[in-house]
Amino acid sequence: MPKIFPFFGKFFIASTMLTSSVLIALSMTLDTAVLAQPTKAPIPTPPTNQPTKAPIPTPSSTNQPTKAPITTPSPTNQPTNPISQKLLGQWQSKDPSSNVALTFIFSPDGKLYILSPNPQKPMAVEFKYSINPTPQPMHLDITVSAEQKQALTIFEFTPDGQLRLQLDNTDPGQPRPTAFSPTAALLTKVSENTKLPENVKIIDLRL
């Protein structure tokens, strides 16, 4: 079995969830005090016989040409490399003996999610990943702990569009494999969606 798969046995979920709420109090004291003050009657002013001067017209600011706002392109985390684009989405690997599917989700912000195969307790483990498509086989670095420990591995796309991923012997600290073993995982792309389902809980990794 690949080394990343048994990580699910080390995850811990608290039986109770701690929630916090922010209470926002809107004070109407100032408004109430202003409304409660008596209104003074206006003091009449004697009429004047002086002619009223017509207001001097001023050039309207609306007639001035409006400058178009300067727009700048918004930054995006979407990879532009063709290999990175091809890797994005949901990939599944099935255990031949049990037919249990494990789902990998590669997101455009450099995060890799591995979803638990247990539908009763949907959860996902969040990793960070980066690739180097230049070497052959291509390099995949997976950050597997809060201490930034990395599992160095290799991957490739097969002629039929599957993802071959070397997961055996890829513990953090070990050198990167140079070739695929006979037990390398084969994953099939099942979706282009890179978002987690809403009911999935993200688990903090504790190695």
- Write the pLDDT tens digit of every residue in 160-192: 999 999 988 888 889 999 999 998 999 999 999
Alpha-carbon gap, residue 157 to 126, rounded angstroms: 23
Residue 195 pLDDT grade (very low, low, confident, very high; cuts 50, 70, 90)? very high
Does the pLDDT of residue 70 top 60, yes or no? no
pLDDT at 178: 95
Alpha-carbon gap, residue 128 to 8, rounded angstroms: 17
Alpha-carbon gap, residue 136 to 130, rounded angstroms: 16
Q: Does the domain spanning 79-203 belong to CATH 2.60.40?
A: no
Does the pLDDT of residue 80 top 80, yes or no? no
More confident residue, 67 or 189: 189
Does the pLDDT of residue 104 top 60, yes or no? yes
Question: What's phi and psi for 187, nearest 5 deg?
Answer: -115, 140
pLDDT at 199: 85
Q: Which residues contact 180 (CB under 8 A, 6 or more apart)?
A: 137, 154, 156, 164, 166
Give the residue extent of every domain in the chain. Answer: 79-203
Residues 122-164 have pLDDT tens digits of 899 999 999 999 999 999 999 987 677 899 999 999 999 999 9
Q: Which range is most confident: 1-10, 53-62, 108-117?
A: 108-117
Question: Tokens standing for 82?
Answer: 């063709």
pTM: 0.62
Q: Tell how strand 201-203 and strand 123-132 pair up.
A: parallel
pLDDT at 197: 86
Residues 168 and 181: beta-carbon distance below 8 Å: yes
Alpha-carbon gap, residue 51 to 75, rounded angstroms: 62
Does the pLDDT of residue 17 top 60, yes or no? no
Alpha-carbon gap, residue 142 to 156, rounded angstroms: 15
CA–centroid distance for 35 within its chain: 48
pLDDT at 158: 97
Does the pLDDT of residue 56 top 70, yes or no? no
